[in-house]
Structure 1
């Protein structure tokens, strides 16, 4: 897990730092969307009787989604 950056007083925040914060937020939103998509897919498969052969594979997919890996 990535460490949280040190807090910067708002009065001292530069536009570059603000841009970096927006980029981190956008990345986090994208990761959450990928994880939600995986959750939906696994729920649909489970309801259809599917089960993964290895729980580690499922965990690896979630980690990849959270780390920003977009490969299927």
Structure 2
């Protein structure tokens, strides 16, 4: 079920694959049908949302800038 009341158009349903806890921020890897999406959020939010490996989530992506480097 996509969230309708947020203006992030890029929504990817997936499951948490890995959480790397830090003292202030944590990395949350979400496995989606389109690949892995990594979110850096506060460790407090990880705890408040009770995020665990295997939890189904919706990754919302809103980019104000995308950089590209030539390989």
The TM-score range, normalised by the shorter chain, is under 0.3
* Structure possessing the higher radius of gyration over alpha carbons: 1
Q: Could you tell me the TM-score, scaled by structure 1's length?
A: 0.23
